[in-house]
């Protein structure tokens, strides 16, 4: 996905988010769980919408949803294709890799 480089905010080095892992990053003063599924990067607000449990360290289901370890909720990782927000209230970032570094849209 292409993003205007001027509108990109550095999250972390790609080496800090190896495949099949989650990494805590900050964006605009909020904690986000950054997931590397091995095929793509996703970042969501680091809290389950059910009772606020952290999503860092939670397993990813079929590369498309994070599963809260406290209650088993499946939370979609990717933004909706139609551009509308998910109903869970979590924020999602578009993450791109450039020159070994991960960036999010500002």
| 3 state DSSP class of 80 | coil
Whole-prediction pTM value?
0.88
Per-residue tokens: 4? 């205007």
- Quick check: 37 and 17 in contact, CB under 8 A? no
> What local confidence, expressed as pLDDT, does residue 37 receive?
95
User: Which residues are within 8 A (CB) of 57 and not within 5 positions of it... i.e. 6 or more apart?
Assistant: 22, 69
Q: Where are the beta strands (DSSP E) in the chain?
A: 8-13, 21-27, 30-36, 41-45, 60-61, 65-67, 74-76, 92-93, 95-98, 101-105
* Domain chopping of the chain, boundaries: 5-105
CATH class as words, domain 5-105: mainly beta
> What local confidence, expressed as pLDDT, does residue 105 receive?
80
**Model confidence pLDDT, tens digit, residues 10-59:** 999 999 999 999 999 999 999 999 999 999 999 999 999 988 899 999 99
């Amino acid at each position: 996905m292409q993003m205007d480089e001027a509108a990109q905010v550095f999250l972390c080095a790609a080496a800090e988010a190896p495949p099949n892992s989650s990494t805590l990053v900050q964006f605009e003063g909020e904690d986000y769980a950054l997931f590397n599924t091995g095929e793509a990067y996703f970042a969501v607000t680091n809290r389950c919408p059910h009772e606020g449990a952290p999503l860092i360290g939670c397993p990813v289901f079929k590369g498309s949803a994070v599963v809260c370890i406290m209650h088993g909720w499946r939370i979609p990782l990717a933004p909706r294709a139609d551009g509308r927000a998910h109903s869970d209230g979590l924020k999602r970032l578009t993450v791109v890799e450039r020159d070994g570094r991960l960036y999010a849209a500002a």
